[in-house]
Structures are given as C-alpha cells and as structure tokens.
A and B are shown apart, each in its own frame.
Chain A
C-alpha cells in the first residue's frame, strides 16, 4: 500500500469529451449487417482539429478553473496516453506552456496503455507527499484508434481528464492510499510504427482485466481494513459495459455504487482517460464525507487502486468549470463515413 508522509488530494479536476458521437449501431451496420449485440450505445470521437494535446489543455484548464491556484506553482505536468501527437516531442511541454506552468516544471509523457493516467496520479502523490512540490498536474487522455472492423472499433473513443494533485488541506478529495498490481501479461499491444493495436483474444478477460482489477481492489481494501459498503461510489476502468459491471460484482460493490462513474455506454472507452473521467463525473455530484473507490487498468498489464475521501471543499469547486455531464450532453451524432474522415482513416494522397 502506498501512503505518502504528508496527506495529499485533489485540489482541482477537469474532464474533456469531444463533441462527436459514433453510435455502435453504425459500426455494426457497416461490418456485421447490424447483427450481434452491441457493447455500448455510442462513443465519443475527436474532431478534425483535436488530439491528445488539445484535449489535455482543455481538461487542464478546467482543473485550474476549479483549483484557482497560480499555475507557476505546478512542479510537474505528466500526460499519460497511448496517442501522443508526436512519437518524439513531449505533449506535456505544450500543455505546461499553454496553461502557464512552464518553465520551472517537470514534464514527461507516460505510456502504460490505459493505466498511464492513473500512474501519473500516483507519481504526483509522491512529489506532493514528499514535499518536493506543492502541485502536480496528472492527465490521462486518448484518441484511441482501432482497426476498421475490429471488435475494439465499437468502443475505442476520445476523451479523458486532468487532476491537480496538491496538499490535503487544500483538497476537495483526499487520497487515503493507493495500491498497484502489475505483471507481464500479453493481452494488448501496439508495435512501434504500427497504426492499430493487436490483442491476444484469450488474454483480454480473465488473466488481464479481471485478475488485475480485482487483485488490486481486494488488496487495497484488505490493507486499509475497508469493505465495499464503506464506499458511496466505485469507478473502474471501463473497456465496455460488461467488464466493470462484473468486476464490481466480484469485488462486492452494487450497481448503485457503480452507475455514476460508468460512462462507457455513452462515451466509449477513453483508454488512459477511462477511470479518470468516471471519477470526475462522481466528483461533480459528490458530497463532503463521501468515499470513492477507484481501480484503473492498463494492458500489459496492471491496475492502480485508490481509496478517496471527499472533503468539505468539494461543493465550492464543483461548478467552477463545465461538468462531465455538460460535455456528455453536448453531442452531435456522425455516421461511419464522417467518422472515417475525422479519424484520418482516408488516404488523401
């Protein structure tokens, strides 16, 4: 169990979901004659001028609107993503410059499939908890790509969230502890220069997602001496609707605890942003004293579990920036052809 010397928490948070939605029924219309069950209702699709950088900047600005701190006091900007715009040239320096955190700042891009954003949060807890820095900006954001016709095309979506980690005394929610569970598991990967990911079909469920999510979750509760009933909300990495529902059930949580943060049916799997943006939807309506249990998952594979307690400060900051449901309500449905254009799947020359 990881617990810093000084208590740390969330001083500000911000979400981002792009405007466009591709219904899963559109993918089915093109690839399966509309037959078969659909894993979600629709997924969020980034516009032509959006990428992990532009979306990170907006989520970061929302986090700063809520925190109302001097951005030059941010000591690190870490962006977790599997879709950084450049292979070499950090997303994080551009974010730091755009929000006024440069130049006295650590900056790096992180990669751990869908766990890169929660990894940035744990690193931020370390910097703030050790007293090395007052604030750290941790972002999980993706414009996830899937091979046309692949099962992942129904869900691979765009969006994410930013968290400003800082001292507990200034926080709207405090981290009680975190715990990580990481192994070498070949469930999903993308080689250098490959445009689309590959997955090891028989590895995606039991040995990957369920093993890591439930082990990290159970161990953190055991070490803290908590039980699922101690929490008002649970949010898990959500690659589709069924996986988090089943993992929550295995861990002993109810559908009522899960529903507020379960956004995958209406925005899809935002990869490094997935559990993080679920947490923002919970924080938007949480009350002082509420407890939240979160478990991320990244292929390759690993999970970070967090126990979070909401403070009195939450009600001051909830309405200082657009809420996650505001972004979800802003939606324009597109067809598969527009999706192909927006996601740069057309060869123009």
Chain B
C-alpha cells in the first residue's frame, strides 16, 4: 500500500472529486493532466452526483491479496450520471440481486487495511439506491 499515492488521491476516493474539461465540456474521472476526449489541458474541479447504473459486473469468489476478507463480492463497471465509466466494488447487495442497468449510488467505505497496525484505506463503492429523494 503506497501511503503517498493514497494520500494524493484521497479526494477522488472519498467523494468522487472529478474534473470537467473547459475545452470540450466532458466530465473526467479520475482527474488527469490531459483530457482523454480532446487532449486539452484546461480543466476545472467538479463534484459528481454519485449516481449511476451498472453497465456490467462480475462476482469475485477468490479475492486478490488484501481483499480475501470480503469474498465473495461483486465488481462492477458503473456508468455515472455525468458520463464517466468507473470500476468499483458493490456493497450492501446480495450477489444474486445484481442486474445490468440497476441504479446505484456512491458510498464511502473501507476498501482494505494494511494488516493490524497499518493504515485503513477508505474509498468509493456503490450500492443499490436507498431511496429516490427530492
């Protein structure tokens, strides 16, 4: 676990802090130096709604090192309402209930921890929409 890298990316992990391209208007997540849509470098910070839907998914029964504790769990490609597609773990859902097109929302959860004495890493996951709110 890289402490400096985790520290630099904390805002995108905790709250989906993203960029919007000043040249082409596309939303960019994760933030990067050059717009992947038009290759311009002019971007402003933006906050995403955290809402999206499941584009595809796969359930992990044998988890990679550091995630064994959570198996089985489902990884999904989530198409965010603002456009970007991101890969994230689903939470608070039974594997048999996951469907393509299912509306989901971002929550901040524990991603992993470095043994009993190291850092706890927090970041975004997605769960079924709790409730449509006004």
Contact = CB atoms under 8 A, between A and B. Distances in A.
B133 A65 contact: yes
B50 to A, nearest CB: 9
B120 A86 contact: yes
Given A322-B131, A326-B131, A49 B109 contact: yes
A323 B130 CA distance: 10
B106 to A, nearest CB: 10
A54 B69 contact: no
B96 interface: no
B99 interface: no
A322 B109 contact: no
B: contact size bracket:
20 to 34
A292 to B, nearest CB: 23
Given A58-B108, A86-B120, A97-B11, A49 B91 contact: yes
A54 B133 contact: no
B15 A85 contact: no
Contacts of B11: 97
A94 B14 contact: yes
Contacts of B70: 48-49
Given A49-B70, A53-B122, A320-B134, A19 B15 contact: no
Contact of B133 (A19, A86, A320, A332): A320
A51 B121 CA distance: 12
Interface of B: 10-11, 14-15, 47, 69-70, 91-92, 94, 107-111, 120, 122, 125, 130-131, 133-134
16 contacts: A49-B70, A49-B110, A50-B110, A51-B120, A54-B109, A54-B110, A94-B122, A97-B10, A97-B14, A319-B133, A320-B134, A322-B133, A323-B131, A327-B130, A332-B94, A348-B69
